Amino acid sequence: MRMLTALSLCLVVLLVACATDDSQGSTAEPLVSPDTFTPTAEPKATEPPIALKSPQDPFAARREAMVDEGIVGWGIKDEVVIEVMGKVPRHEFVPEQLQELAYENHPLPIGYGQTISQPYIVALMTEALGLNKGDIVLEVGTGSGYQAAVLGELVDRVYTVEIIEALAERADETLSKLGYDHITVHHADGYFGLEEQAPFDAIIVTAAPDHIPQPLVQQLKIGGKMVIPVGPVGGFQTLWLVTRANEEDVRTENLGAVTFVPLTREER
């Protein structure tokens, strides 16, 4: 009987050891390229329960973790941008069935072949513009409205253009519900910008054309900046910071490789 008990104890110890080895062998989730993600699994459980930390905002702890790990942890240094990324409720801009994934550091589908950009990319593009409170900003590619909301926390006036009417209407409703009355959504082909409101202190383009649209350059103020992904459909693009030096010349700075959905155009 004692021999049987000892044998059983050894088996228990071996099972516990195997379970421990499996957990130690797990690795972190790989980096996901921006604007290409489709969710395939349920989000990981969070400890302690989110609702216990903030009954008013059940996503507060997740948003804080997103900022610490995916914004500050990935190299964003502008303290105002960091603060804003911790304030804007990203879960309000994604489909209801994906809200549990809203604070993961990757893009999410929003319908019509479009995505809400990776939080880090939103922060990177925003930081690159070096915005001031009194600036007037144009966004090309409203999508969900999330990037516009981030801009709206930083400047006095944002104009955003979306070619897909259903997305423009949905974003307008979301932004209005959240009190962003100084953000105006237009349903139009963003390639041509918004000439009636130009010139702009800054322009941000959230979908990729295969070249830098000249109408957008012309709508920048002298000294104004534009951040834009440029490259082929279905491949990696280059994120450019474009500064309009004077009436004729622009300066460009390569901010790195990205993957965005293509800039949709009106059929002509």
Catalytic residue among 33, 54, 117, 176: 117
CA distances from 215 to 2, 128, 136, 195, 237 (A): 87, 21, 17, 8, 20
DSSP letter, residue 97 = G
Strand partners, 138: 159, 203
Rounded to an integer, what distance in angstroms lies between the CA atom of residue 34 and that of residue 122? 10
For the four alpha carbons of 195, 201, 206 and 212, in that order, the dihedral sign comes to: positive
Catalytic site includes residue 117? yes
- Alpha-carbon torsion (91, 96, 101, 104), positive or negative: negative
Closest to 256 in 3D by CA, of 30, 72, 28, 33: 33
Cα–Cα separations (whole angstroms), residue 50 to 63, 93, 194: 11, 20, 42
Phi, psi of 222 (to 5 degrees): -65, 125
Catalytic annotation, residues: 117
